[in-house]
Amino acid sequence: MTLVAEEVRIEVPVSGAPKRGVVSRLVSRLGNGFVQLVLALVALFWLVPVFGLLIASLRDESANTASGWWTVFTKPSELTLDNYADLVANQAVWQSFLNTFYIAVPATVLVVVMAALASYALSWIEFPGRETLTVVVVGLLVMPIQVALIPVAKLFGAFGLFGTITGVVLFHVAFGLPFAIFLLRNFFTGIPRDLIEAARMDGATEWVIFKRVVLPVAKPAIASLTIFQFLWVWNDMLVALVFADQDSAPITVALRAQLRQFGTNIDLLATGAFLSMVVPLAVFLVFQKYFVQGVLAGSTK
Amino acid sequence: MTAVALRDVSLVYPGGTVAVNDVSLSVADGEFVVLLGPSGCGKSSILRMVAGLQRPTRGQVVLDGAPADDVPARSRGVSMVFQDFALYPHLTVGDNIGFPLDVSGCPRQERTERIAEVADAFGIGDLLGRRPAELSGGQRQRAAMARAIVRGPRVLLMDEPLSNLDAVLRSGLRAEIAGLARSLGLTVLYVTHDQIEAQTMADRIAVLRNGVLEDEGLPDEVYRHPATMHVAAFLGSPRMSLFRAYVQVVVDSHVALHVGGQVIDLPWPDMRARAVAHYDGEDIAVGARTEALRPAPPGSSGSVLTGQVRHLEHHGHETLVSVDVGAWGVEPSGLHELRTGELVLRVRPDVRPVRGEHVGVHLCLEQLHFFDLADGRRIGPRGRRR
Amino acid sequence: MKLRQSVDAAPGRSPRQAIPFLLPALVVLAALVLYPLVFSLIRSFFDAGGDEFVGLRNYVDTFTDPRTLTAFRNNVIWVVVAPAAVTGIGLVLAVLTERIRWATAFRLVLFMPMAISLFASGIIFRLVYEEAPEQGVVNAALVGVHDLFSPSSQYPGARPRDGYTRTEEGYVATAPSRAGDTVMVPLTGFSPQEVPARALPASQPATGNGELRGLVWLDVSVGGNAGKVDPIERGLPGIGLEAVRDGKVVARTTTGDDGRFTFPDLASDEVVVRLPASNFALPFRGLTWLGPSLITPVIISSWIWIMTGFAITFIAAGLSAIPRDALEAARVDGATEWQVFRRVTIPLLSPVLLVVFVTLVINVLKIFELVFVIAPGSVQSEANVLALQMWQVSFGTGGDQGAGSALAVILFLLVAPAMLFNIRRFRRERS
Ligand SMILES: Nc1ncnc2c1ncn2[C@@H]1O[C@H](COP(=O)(O)OP(=O)(O)O)[C@@H](O)[C@H]1O
Ligand SMILES: [Mg+2]
């Protein structure tokens, strides 16, 4: 067949210089500088919207209605922290900000603890149905939370959990577990078997092995999970929209009411949104390595 | 008194691999027993069953006379040094050594003392504050040993503890480990695939192949009277030469062994001649280590085979000469069955044979080994049990 | 030889030891994930109140409800466009970043949206696409570009008082005039404050000999007389006028600072004076991004902004895992860079690309907050997607939990292939 002959044909460069394609020649002609320029522009596209929100949050209502945030370059005097002061003084918004913590912290701790326990059993204790259980957990990774909204609302109603922080936390724990178990189990099974067995020989019980050997060794994975789960809960809106009431609403839900008159509420919304972003951004910048690992590991969520 | 005994133990892994097949073995109190065999032969599996990390499919592990069937690993009083040392990466050396004491609720004061004591015995007393990652291979080895014996185990198991170290360190530690074990009076079951380790360290050797215990005895005994040709080939360096011989009984005189076109006579007075005579008209395997072979001056008579020099290996203090005597070789594994059999002759370095040269090799009859080709077993009476 | 189960591989370890470790997670998963799944399935066969079994009616209703159909249509658009776009952009950028030294910083910047909430991202893009060019940066930029090429008119919204009819071309005098006449054009609908400073007080021009003359001035009725030139009123400079005869423009002129104009040499035939519409055109205000027609593309663009960093990071990890040997062997074999990319990199990367793609599809199917936040209430029905529709039907305005359950089940079925994909991938990785 001619195909084969073509495949193995060796192209002999005429001039001695390596033969190169149009694209690569073009790229090297324009050079690295061009690539850098393009990427710098792309990065700008990613930064400008956030920067715009930040500036909008630092200008008062009349300034925001009258002119765009970019005019700040000519009128820097318009910048003010008043919006933030107002927001913090606003009891409801401030409460919702605190609620976000009250929801995110326990939901994270519970998920990490439960998932670590379960992952240990799935990795290092043999029991019938272990394979099946692991596969079920993998299957649950992509479960849309919509399938649980109505039944769980009923369930919470029956137990008096509807509209409470506890209810919101429980729901987050349930839907955080599959990914958490998946991530930790992957890490736990990667721990050398010798290490576990050495501990077993050294006289450790399962509980001691878990606490004294597996948990410390798995610190990076636990860090990834903690950060990922915290941000996941912190950033949630849908769950809280359904299960939280006015007093237990996190900041995303509390601000939602202001959406109706967006144009005139820019100062409030921008400030609120930015306030809600401060924590994730700080966590992201400080722990970005762990966060990126967590997202990549949990790509399927 | 018997510290460890395996009684007809077999292990089949879920995939169907028969890792250990009907092995019986015992280790006496204070004895240093080496389990020797090529990798994959089931050595680790045996250790893990003794440790309580794996339950035998059949048979029983007995510790200090009591069946250990349902005794969990942590209560067996057995400790283990792993091939990769399995030090806890997040703990310092001191905490690693102290871990077994800690989990058994040993008070802090006593713990500190024990750690210091054991660490000093292994010469790592000033490394207690370091993490395993900051140790050299040899130091990790010592730390792992220290952790294993800190609790005063009845039995110490070691799974190829030297195989991850470089050659120089290895030979140093061989003597050190054996010496320490003896001075502490430890009962040791030691696993290795390195026959030199086995020879130099063991009180007793057990040779394992494909999950079957093929031979067992004092190192010297097993070397001189291997029970099978696999054992024979596995022990000793250079490897024992194995070749085919056709047996012909010459009544009232001797047994003639036809090797290629040549003949060696085995006189009746030789105790083994009778046993070999059973194979009249058949092939057997003949084994010869280099110490059974000498260069034969031209024209000398007796058990001499002549052949062509195939290749030379210069070792500095000696030269190994492979001589093709025109016989079929025997591979214990059954592979390369049709290779020519070559005798490996050891000569002084100043003797310089030329490749292709014809030389005579004198065989010392007493030191030849005869094996059944079918099952690999040694032919003939043997001065010991089995 | 009879095999014992591997279950109790080690003596003294019983499967029972797993129970305390597993129990907390299993209870929560069973109660809040598995049981609800079954419940939703059953619930979807009952009516809104949950009392009456209605068979498949909820599903039939769902597939005939125009709102749900819109949501379906949008979901299809999302699935077709968004994941492929993000994977493609991610691939290109991941490859490009391999050539630069600040790749880590770049990826960090693009990854940042993953850290913030979809709600906040929604607010960010609501602001970006806000219609008023004084607020939305996209429209501001559009207007800037537009005005660069066609500057806006001087007198937006102004119009002649009486005697002119409005046409496509502009305001046309109802009465014809001829050379020697004086045409008075009083304009209204414009604020005196915005009249250019150079404008001079208006006064009626003298009748010219053979010229058609006239005056355009801002005629204020308050403090003056409508249609009359009052002392306080000023002429409007820079207004273009045309003399039209038989539908053809025969002469053009522009008013001076005092608002006067002259058509110097017209023949004696009658002409009609016309003020072209360009004098009064309203300024360009950009596009209605958040209106019904553009809303879905707009939301998709914000989703691309959020997810691209994820794709880049994942693909970059895949790229760095490609053995250098393979690439170098191809180069040694004489392949061009493009061929290396097409024939070696892409095939080796395809499993990673598939995982990224599937992940993005799952994400897209569950899209909720972005639509909820970015689409203004009035166009939410146009931007609707299944996840949002499910919420609205069951908790928002609908309150029909039967229909909501049916939608939830449909959503689950849509995600199910991805579920199987994950399980198969997991099984393969194990073996
Ligand atoms: N957990 C296991 N599951 C299945 N087969 C195993 C397992 N562990 C070891 N084996 C198999 O059992 C045989 C013996 O293994 P092992 O005892 O580790 O040998 P050695 O330590 O002598 O190298 C090998 O063929 C190995 O592949
Ligand atoms: Mg082994």
pLDDT digits (tens, 9 = 90+) for B158-198: 999 998 888 888 888 899 899 989 988 999 999 999 999 99
Mean of pLDDT values over B267-280: 86
CA dist., res. A121 & res. C418, Å (int): 26
Which residues, including other chains, have CB under 8 Å from residue A119's CB and lie 6 or more apart?
A180, A181, A184, A185, A187, A188
Which has the closest alpha carbon to A122: B224, B61, C15, B270?
C15
Residue B60 near residue B25, CB atoms below 8 Å: no
Are A149 and A218 members of one domain? Answer: yes
Q: Is the CB of B289 inside 8 Å of chain A's CB atoms?
A: no
Q: C217: pLDDT confidence band, cut at 50, 70 and 90?
A: confident
Are both A79 and A9 inside the same structural domain? no
Rounded mean pLDDT of C118-122?
A: 92
d(CA B240, CA B317): 20
Domain with A241 in it: what CATH number? 1.10.3720.10
Asked, for residue C46, whether it belongs to a domain, the answer is: yes
What phi, psi does A169 have (nearest 5°)? -60, -50
Q: Are residues A136 and A268 in the same domain?
A: yes
pLDDT (tens digit per residue) in C270-309:
888 888 888 887 777 778 888 888 999 999 999 999 999 9
Residue B239: closest CA among B109, B141, B53, B369: B369
- A201 and B88 within 8 Å at the Cβ level: the answer is no
- Tell me: the pLDDT tens digits for B350-385? 888 888 899 999 999 889 999 998 888 999 765 443
Residue B47 near ligand 1, beta carbon < 6 Å:
no
Q: Please indicate whether, in this complex, the C-beta atoms of A212 and B99 are within 8 angstroms of each other.
A: yes
| Residue C391 touches chain A, beta carbons under 8 Å | yes
Cβ atoms of residues C220 and C233 within 8 Å: yes
Q: Which of C1, C2, C9 sits opposite B54 (nearest CB)?
A: C9
Which of the ligands is closest to the CA of residue B193? 1
Among residues B314, B196, B252, A153, the alpha carbon closest in space to that of C50 is found at A153
Task: Give the β-pairing of B187-192 and B155-159.
Answer: parallel
Average pLDDT over residues C114-130: 91
Domain count, chain B: 2
Structure tokens at A109: 């701790």
CA of B45 to the centre of ligand 1 (A): 6
Residue C30 domain flag: no
Quick one: B145 and B37 in the same domain? yes
Which backbone phi and psi does C59 adopt, to 5 degrees?
-70, -40
C35-52 pLDDT tens trace: 999 999 999 999 888 888
Q: Which of B49, B52, B64 is nearest to B19 (CA)?
A: B49
Does B193 contact ligand 1 (Cβ within 6 A)? no
Shared domain for B164 and B201, answered yes or no, is yes
Quick check: B105 contacting A, CB < 8 Å? no
Residues 6+ apart with CB under 8 A from A245: A162, A163, A164
DSSP H helical ranges for B194-304? 195-201, 219-224, 229-234, 271-277
Provide the shortest C-alpha distance from residue B81 to chain C (in Å). Answer: 18
Q: Which two tokens stand for residue A287?
A: 């722990």
CA atoms C151, C157, C161, C165: torsion sign: positive
C136 pLDDT exceeds 90? no
Mean pLDDT of A229-251: 92
| Partner-chain contact C1 B52, CB within 8 Å | no
Q: Among B208, B230, B252, where does a domain finish?
A: B230
Residue A16: the pLDDT is 37
Residues C269 and C336 both lie in one domain: no
A-chain residues within 8 Å CB-CB of B86? 192, 194-195, 197-198
Interface of C with B (CB under 8 A): 1-6, 8-13
**Residue B6: DSSP 8-state:** E
B36 C-beta closer than 6 A to ligand 1: no
Same domain, A83 and A135: no
- Chain C residues whose CB is inside 8 A of the B74 CB are 12
pLDDT greater at residue A262 or residue C62? C62
Angstrom distance (rounded) from CA A118 to CA B374: 54
- Within a domain: B385: no
Q: What is the pLDDT of residue C196?
A: 83
Question: Using the beta-carbon criterion (under 8 Å), do A212 and B151 form an inter-chain contact?
Answer: no
Amino acid at C11: P
- What is the per-residue pLDDT for C320? 87
Q: Which residues of B touch C9 (CB under 8 A)?
A: 53-55
Pairing of strands C248-254, C182-188: unpaired
| Whether residue A135 is found in the same domain as residue A105 | yes
Give the residue from C279, C310, C329 where a domain finishes.
C279
What DSSP element (H or E) covers B58?
strand B58-63
Q: Which segments of C239-368 does DSSP mark as H helices, in order? A: 295-321, 324-332, 337-340, 346-365
Interface of A with B in 208-227 (CB under 8 A): 208, 212-213, 216-217, 219
Tokens 């928002």, located at residue: C396
3-class SS of residue C407 = helix
B17 lines ligand 1 (CB under 6 A): yes
Q: What is the helix, strand, coil percentage profile of chain C, to 5?
A: 55, 10, 35
Share of chain C above pLDDT 70, in %: 97
- Whether residue A211 is contained in a domain is answered as yes
The number of folded domains in chain A is 3
Q: What is the pLDDT of residues B205-260, one digit of tens each?
A: 999 999 999 999 999 999 999 999 999 999 988 889 999 999 999 877 888 999 98
DSSP symbols for C30-57: IIIIIHHHHHHHHHTTB-TTS-SB-TTH
Clarify whether residues B136 and B205 are in a common domain.
yes
Domain boundary among B230, B263, B286: B230
The residue of A194, A197, A201 whose CB has the most chain B CBs within 10 angstroms, and thus the best one to mutate to test that interface, is A201
Contacts of C13 in chain B (CB under 8 A): 72
Q: Does ligand 1 have an atom closer than 6 angstroms to the CB of B13? A: yes
Residue pair A173/A117 in contact by the 8 Å Cβ criterion = no
- Structural domain contains residue A38: yes
The answer to whether the beta carbons of residues A236 and A245 sit under 8 Å apart is: no
Could you tell me if residue B378 is inside a domain? no
Which atom number of ligand 1 is nearest to the Cα of residue B42? 17
Which residue of B13, B80, B96, B158 to mutate against A (max A Cβ within 10 Å)? B80
Residues on chain A touching C307 (C-beta within 8 angstroms): none
Which residues are CB-neighbours of A287 under 8 A, at least 6 positions away?
Answer: A223, A227
C289 within 8 A of C300, measured Cβ to Cβ: no
- Within 8 A by CB and 6+ apart from B147, the residues are A198, A202, B79, B87, B96, B97, B99, B100
Is residue A53 one of the residues assigned to a domain?
Answer: no
Q: Are A64 and A162 in a shared domain?
A: no
Are B206 and B348 in a shared domain?
Answer: no
Atom of ligand 1 nearest to the CA of B193: 22
Task: Return the partners of chain A (3 or more C-beta pairs < 8 Å).
Answer: B, C
Longest dimension (CA), chain B: 80
Least confident of A20-24, A25-29, C269-273, C388-392: A20-24
Average pLDDT, chain C: 86
pLDDT of residue B293: 92
**Contact B74/A204, CB-based, under 8 Å?**
yes
Q: What is the largest CA-CA distance in chain A?
A: 83
Per residue in B280-337, pLDDT (tens digit) is 999 999 999 999 999 988 777 788 999 999 889 988 888 999 999 888 888 877 654 5
Range of the domain at A190: 90-297
Ligand 1 atom with minimal separation from the B160 CA:
21
- Pick left, alpha or beta for residue C272 (phi over 0 → left; psi -120 to 50 → alpha; otherwise beta): beta
Residue reference for tokens 């553009």: C294
Please give the model's pTM, rounded to 2 decimal places.
Answer: 0.83
C-alpha closest to that of C249 among C241, C238, C257 = C241
Residue of B51, B84, B89 lying closest to A201 (CB–CB): B51
Owning domain of residue B37? 2-230
**CATH number for position B183:** 3.40.50.300
Chains linked to B by 3 or more Cβ pairs within 8 Å: A, C
Same domain, A123 and A198: yes
Return the percentage of chain B with pLDDT > 90, whole number. 60
If asked whether residues A156 and A278 sit together in one domain, one would say yes
C7 contacts in chain B (CB < 8 Å)? none
- 3-state SS string for B25-54: EEEECCCEEEEECCCCCCHHHHHHHHHCCC
- Over residues A23-29, the mean pLDDT reads 59
With tokens 């039209």, the residue in question is: C244
Asked if the model's pLDDT at residue B50 lies above 70, the reply is yes
In this structure, is residue C143 part of a structural domain? no
Q: Is the peptide bond before B267 cis (omega within 30 degrees of 0)?
A: no
Q: Is residue A103 part of a domain?
A: yes
Question: How is B134-167 classified by DSSP, letter by letter?
Answer: GS-HHHHHHHHHHHHHTT--SEEEEESTTTTS-H
Rounded to whole angstroms, how far apart are CA atoms B87 and A221? 20
Question: Residue C223's pLDDT is what?
Answer: 65
With 80 as the cut, is the pLDDT of residue A1 above it?
no
- In Å, how far are A152, A233, B109, C42, C92 from C28, measured between CA atoms? 12, 17, 44, 21, 42
pLDDT tens figures, A209-239: 999 999 999 998 999 899 889 988 999 999 9
Three-class secondary structure of residue C183 per DSSP: strand
For tokens 């360290």, the residue is B201
Q: Cα B48–B52–B54 angle (5° rounding)? A: 55
What is Dmax (Cα atoms) for chain C?
Answer: 128
Q: In which domain, by residue range, is C194 found?
A: 159-279
Cβ neighbour number for residue A45 with a 10 Å cutoff: 13
Please tell me which residue of chain C has the smallest CA distance to B17.
C3
